[in-house]
Amino acid sequence: MRRLLDLELARELMQDAGLSEPDYDVLSDLSETPDQRLRLSELADRMLWSRSRLSHHLSRMQHRGLVTREECAADGRGSIVTLTPAGRRALEAAAPGHVAAVRRHLVDLLTPEEIEALGALTHRVVGRLARRPGREG
């Protein structure tokens, strides 16, 4: 189910908005910060990606004008990723359709009781996995 759901959501997101799921995740994570900026290392941690993998992905997103990257003024070692106006517009255009797809392919198929059970199960699984060595809670 997870693979089929992920595949369908990714297909619709790309078809409808021209964004991959990782594109959407990056844009969404940046949009949720007060100044729409994050250190690359913090963004990688949020996405559960290596810094190298994220850096390569961000290069492609920069080329499309969705994000910018600049050296971190505080220490000069890291970089800061910032949502651009074009990235904000892409996210705002994609979000309604993506939310509708999640509802159509999952949420609307569940009863209120099933949604509650899914929420409880999700919290239990995430709680267990987040406590594993090498993971922050």
pLDDT tens figures, 115-127: 999 999 999 999 9
Cβ neighbors of 47 (< 8 A, separation 6 or more) are 22, 25, 26, 29, 54
For 114, the token pair is 């099933």
- Model confidence pTM above 0.95: no
> Phi-psi category of 12—alpha, beta or left, where left has phi over 0 and alpha has psi -120 to 50?
alpha
Q: How do residues 80-123 score in pLDDT, each as one tens digit?
A: 999 999 999 999 999 999 999 999 999 999 999 999 999 999 99
pLDDT computed for residue 137 by the predictor: 45
In percent, the amount of the chain with pLDDT more than 90 equals 88
Give the model's confidence band at 132: pLDDT under 50 very low, under 70 low, under 90 confident, else very high. confident
